[in-house]
Amino acid sequence: MFYRCMTLTDWYAEVRYLVLRVYSYFIRGYHGVAPMDTWALDRHVFRVLAQGMRTLAKDPHGYPMWIPEEYNLEADENGAAANTAAAIDCWKSWLNDQAEWLEWYLADNLDITPESSEAERIAAINAYDKKYAAFKTVVLPHIMQHVDSMWD
């Protein structure tokens, strides 16, 4: 078992880390972010945003006014969607798609195994780099363009 061979210094570091996690839990609950979260602030913000998007997609109470135009839905004279149910479905789809992209970033998953050949490794790295470039140049700007629409 791992704990049997731990030294006193190891135990001290383990307990100190656990105390820091408990402290961070309460600070995060009060302020929304803890000092521990700044170690990887991008990951913290994307995790919160992805979870919020999934929650909003489960029970939206409307849709933003840009949905009919972006999804080529029939609009009425005021620019609102003629079919509200279709617009809400499109809004849910958009939220889930963007959350999926953020979760992909958080997973940081590169499909390379020790048994992979050099050609497979290079192909996997190139595919990851291509998807990451699309994430940074297309997806993130699109999310930021519509971040003010994530109300409920």
The string of DSSP codes covering 35-64 is: GGGGGGHHHHHHHHHHHHHHHHHHS-S---
Domain region containing 22: 1-32
What backbone phi and psi angles, to 5 degrees, belong to 32?
Answer: 90, -15
Structure tokens at 79: 């620019």
Same domain, 63 and 116: yes
Query: Cβ(39)–Cβ(46) under 8 Å?
Result: no
Same domain, 92 and 71: yes
Count Cβ atoms within 10 A of the Cβ of residue 92 and give its class: 0-12 exposed, 13-18 middle, 19 or more buried. Answer: middle
Same domain, 92 and 69: yes
Same domain, 28 and 43: no
Same domain, 145 and 80: yes
Whose tokens are 């909003």? That residue is: 56
Cα three-residue angle 71-75-79, rounded to 5 degrees? 100
List the beta bridge partners of residue 81.
Answer: 75
Same domain, 28 and 102: no
Same domain, 64 and 126: yes
Same domain, 85 and 120: yes
> In the predicted model, is pLDDT for residue 130 greater than 90?
yes
pLDDT digits (tens, 9 = 90+) for 63-95: 999 999 999 999 888 888 889 999 999 999 999
Same domain, 117 and 86: yes
Same domain, 85 and 69: yes
CA distance 72 to 119: 42
Count Cβ atoms within 10 A of the Cβ of residue 95 and give its class: 0-12 exposed, 13-18 middle, 19 or more buried. Answer: buried
Same domain, 26 and 47: no
Mean model confidence pLDDT for the chain: 89
Same domain, 82 and 107: yes
pLDDT digits (tens, 9 = 90+) for 59-71: 998 899 999 999 9
> What share of the chain in percent tops pLDDT 70?
97
User: Which one, of 10, 40, 12, lies nearest residue 24 by Cα?
Assistant: 40
In the chain, the number of structural domains is 2
